[in-house]
Amino acid sequence: MTPRPLRILVAHNVPRARTGGMSRLMGFIHDRVVQAGHRVDYFCSEDVPRQLNGRWARFTFPALVWRHTRAAARRGEPYDLVNVHEPSGAALVLDKRTTGKPVVVVTSHGVERRAWELALEDVRLGRDGPGWKSRLVFPLTRLWQADLSLRRADHIFCLNDQDRDYLAARYGIPHRQVTRIFPAADAAYAAAAADRDYTRAARLLFAATWRKNKGIEDLVPAFVTLAARHPSLELTVLGAGVPHETVWAAFPEAIRHRIRCIQTRTEAETAAAFAEADLFVLPSLFEGTPLTLMEAMASGLPTVTTATAGMKDVIRDGATGLLVPIRSPEAIAAALERLLQGPTVRASLGHAARTEALRRYTWGQVAVPVLEAYQKLCRNL
């Protein structure tokens, strides 16, 4: 018997436009869910009245998701399944009765409590970390909601194996209740970089928001070291999400002219930016699995990234990229130096990464476990 079409709500407090990693991941995967015959609605940051957003969003967004789901049930059009971001599911998991009893799937783009523990560890190590105000407010506003969402969800999507193991150890959630999902790369990335020249190594790309968890405290000193050795080396920061002046201010004035900040508007523009680069670096401390990593792989970029979270699930050290420890500018610089000095290793890693991305990380392929989980969870509806 052919399963009936499902009514699905995807609720994540990010813009509807597919400009960020979370919105793109959810959007492109659920395009395939729609192609499979299901109906998908979205509840995003634009659906929150302006006066209720900002500092209050940690409470208002979960409440509005609950209200939206309840309104659909009262109209006689209940959702079969709601996919909600981890910190926004508390109200929904507390009250399924008045919302039509949907299956609640919580998607974690990096388990909030694990990220918080890492941030506190930074403080103990003498690095920048949350201040006293954040240490008081964050657990009382966001963290308890994330915990509740995970404990009461019908199913969880997570983006790396470390998170899946953490869910079992911290919350007692069995692996069968968790589906490991992946981001992917559009075919435009491989096409734009089809003629990549591995003899050139002068353009380093960092494609991520300019914030602590992306490893910027380690990227800056690593680049400063390399810039002193390689006068022609440039760094491009793509999609920083902050004013360009904020990025430039992190570097010594003498090399700021070698830092280029760009913002792309379309997939084709982003693919072109990846194609123009020679090397890719992402020294994140904490992630789910970054979408930009798949795009770098599909572009055939020799990559240096950290041996944690989803990066170590995807990159095979020495085969499809180079892995380094977190919090180690010296290791980042050494790995990039190896690539700068070796056209043969650049070509080997880049070709292998591209092959791996085309084989495993396309949107059609990564949507399969999502569809299978939805159908399994809803088969008795």
Ordered domains of the chain (ranges, CATH): 7-184+363-377 (3.40.50.2000), 187-360 (3.40.50.2000)
Rounded CA gap, 142 and 190, in Å? 38
Rounded CA gap, 60 and 47, in Å? 11
pLDDT value, residue 2: 52
Residue 362's φ and ψ, nearest 5 degrees, are: -105, 155
CA atoms within 13 A on the CB side of 69: 32
Show the low-confidence residues of the chain (pLDDT under 50).
Answer: 1
Q: Which two tokens stand for residue 154?
A: 């019908």
pLDDT value, residue 58: 84
pLDDT value, residue 127: 86
pLDDT value, residue 379: 87
Rounded CA gap, 347 and 61, in Å? 46
pTM of the model: 0.92
pLDDT value, residue 89: 94
pLDDT value, residue 1: 45
Beta bridge partners of 281: 304
pLDDT value, residue 140: 87
Rounded CA gap, 108 and 163, in Å? 9
**In the block, residue with structure tokens 């308890």:** 144
Residue 281's φ and ψ, nearest 5 degrees, are: -130, 135
Which DSSP helix (H) or strand (E) runs through 367?
helix 363-377
pLDDT value, residue 96: 87
pLDDT value, residue 354: 97
The pLDDT tens digits of the residues spanning 175-196 come to 999 999 999 999 999 999 999 9
Torsion of Cα atoms, 189 then 311 then 160 then 240, to 10°: -70
